[in-house]
Chains A and B, each alone.
Chain A
């Protein structure tokens, strides 16, 4: 039997297409067009300049470190929230989303104040010779702050639905907690972890607001790619800004494909289990 066709498609699809075309597609197409109008030689010269390459290195390195930190912290946080009962658990669960709710500029000035050499954390840390604010370490702190929720929120539901019988089977066979964790639980969490990791990494690559306050923004050492694109704009060097932004856009598309793949895998895995 043919499905009855619901009304409203022309209007709903019309609104959707107009919005998507004007708000999303047009600007991104304009950026690609601007970058493409540079010609291959100029384009390559700009995106492979020493300063740009240094900014990629800073951004990618810091994002990697922040993501690895969040992998462990996020997994431990999800574990604690799902498996343990303690006073204030619900509050902690709600606070996990604070980095998403708090505007990035607010997070940026708060973290900078905490980690500056006269700050609550920066003071004690500087006594043992660790400088966070205005160093790559500061960028890592800002990146991990803004992406904490990703791994927690992808791992949490999987952990909640983990069948206790699987662990019990391991226990009956005399396996230690550690070996049950590594051979039974971890493999089941891996798809969710990978999905969370790719989201967290992608977010860190594009983060701007939280970072620029704490980074110090010195070319070649603490200048992220997003900031370089912004600086080129302020210097009225529009082609350079377009070229660098287009590199970020391409990276975002690659990351979007990877995260979608990971999420699809994680979802299929959950469905099977």
Chain B
């Protein structure tokens, strides 16, 4: 590369004026469209002073909403993680009929509107749905209760862990696992001491993104929860409720918790990306078999 040095012409777009203009426009737009919404949350949350902020957070309904959101995540995220690992193991370490179709189905929730997801759950567990009357007769409450909220959250985040693991495990191949089992290691042992160390960062990456989405989900949960204050209101729903109650400061105080979570998520994301997570290019689910193997650039 030494011969490039000084004599190298500037690259396209490196013209000083062009660079300055483009950089200014882009940074201005980032400021207006991405930074300003974040700043306004903080400003509005403390608009009535720190005491009111404290009172808003300590309000029993807000505290209950936080608790419900945390409980939902504590149930949905681990189940989702187990599913993601199982799906990735089955899809990348084995061959079976219908594998491509399964990969596509796992990705579906990513393209479906959260409202469609919520409405769909109503037609399974609601009174006008498939199991509604049977559930009512058995006095099992799924909709407008915690199970419904958890189920809807699991729908919207179904692909999160699997889609991080599948391309990575595909790229890693099966050689190491095959060597381990041929040396007599059990399946579990192979998974925990061979596979897991290789996928831990990608797994954590998927878990972090999944958790962030579960805690912040609004559309799907708002259909199935029934929005009962102090009972089935998750934090995002509680924010809406306070906002429509013309309690903007209280609403933004609650929103600042989720904004804080978003910032923590972004920091974790950057840290995990430094470990190499989230970097493998995702092959498309519907793509031909030749492109299923992700590109590993030399």
A interface vs B, CB < 8 Å? Answer: 3-9, 11-13, 15-17, 19-20, 23-28, 30-31, 33-34, 73, 76-77, 79-80, 83-84, 86, 90, 92, 94-99, 101-107, 109-111, 113-114, 119-121, 144-145, 148, 157, 161, 164, 167-168, 170-171, 177, 180-181, 185, 202, 205-209, 213, 226-227, 229-230, 233, 238, 241-242, 245, 248-249, 252-253, 255-257, 259-261, 263-264, 267-268, 270-271
Contacts and interface: CB of A to CB of B under 8 A. Distances in A.
A120 B36 contact: yes
Task: Among B18, B120, B130, find the residue whose CB has the most chain A CB atoms closer than 10 A.
Answer: B120
Interface in B150-183: 151, 154-155, 158, 174, 177-178, 181-182
A145 B83 CA distance: 31
Given A16-B87, A164-B11, A206-B112, A27 B22 contact: no
B36 A256 contact: no
A172 to B, nearest CB: 9
Contacts of B267: 94
Given A77-B26, A109-B252, A11 B33 contact: no
A21 B259 CA distance: 33
Contacts of A268: 287, 291
B51 interface: no
B38 A113 contact: no
Interface in B261-289: 262-263, 265-267, 269-270, 281-288
Interface centre among B18, B115, B177, B182 (most CB of A within 10 A): B115
Given A31-B119, A206-B114, A229-B115, A11 B215 contact: no
A233 B112 CA distance: 18
Nearest to A270: B295
A202 B111 contact: yes
Pairs of residues from A and B, 7 with the lowest C-beta to C-beta distance, nearest first: A103-B216, A206-B113, A7-B187, A264-B287, A27-B120, A260-B286, A209-B218
B123 A30 contact: yes
Contacts of A145: 33-34, 37
A259 B116 CA distance: 19
B298 to A, nearest CB: 11
B28 to A, nearest CB: 11
Given A83-B14, A96-B34, A103-B215, 14 more contacts: A8-B89, A13-B94, A23-B151, A27-B155, A30-B130, A77-B30, A94-B267, A109-B239, A161-B297, A168-B9, A177-B15, A249-B112, A257-B286, A263-B287
Nearest to A213: B243
A30 B102 contact: no
B212 interface: yes
Given A23-B154, A105-B236, A252-B111, A4 B178 contact: yes
B102 A20 contact: yes
B223 A233 contact: yes
Given A110-B37, A245-B120, A104 B13 contact: no
A233 B44 contact: no
B124 interface: yes
B26 to A, nearest CB: 5
A109 B9 contact: no
B32 interface: yes
24 contacts: A3-B174, A6-B187, A8-B89, A13-B96, A16-B106, A20-B158, A31-B123, A33-B130, A80-B23, A92-B30, A94-B269, A101-B262, A101-B266, A102-B262, A103-B216, A103-B258, A113-B44, A206-B111, A207-B113, A233-B119, A253-B111, A256-B111, A259-B111, A267-B295
A34 B34 contact: no
Given A7-B187, A113-B40, A83 B13 contact: yes
Contacts of B288: 264
A92 B96 contact: no
A110 B251 CA distance: 10
A6 B94 contact: yes
B284 A105 contact: no
B125 to A, nearest CB: 9
B114 A209 contact: yes
Contacts of A264: 283-284, 286-288, 291
Contact of B83 (A16, A96, A119, A213): A16
In the complex, which of the residues A31, A95, A101, A205 has the most CB atoms of chain B within 10 Å of its own CB atom? A101
Nearest to A239: B128
A145 B35 CA distance: 11
Contacts of B191: 8
B12 interface: yes
A157 B83 contact: no
Contact of A28 (B120, B223, B269): B120
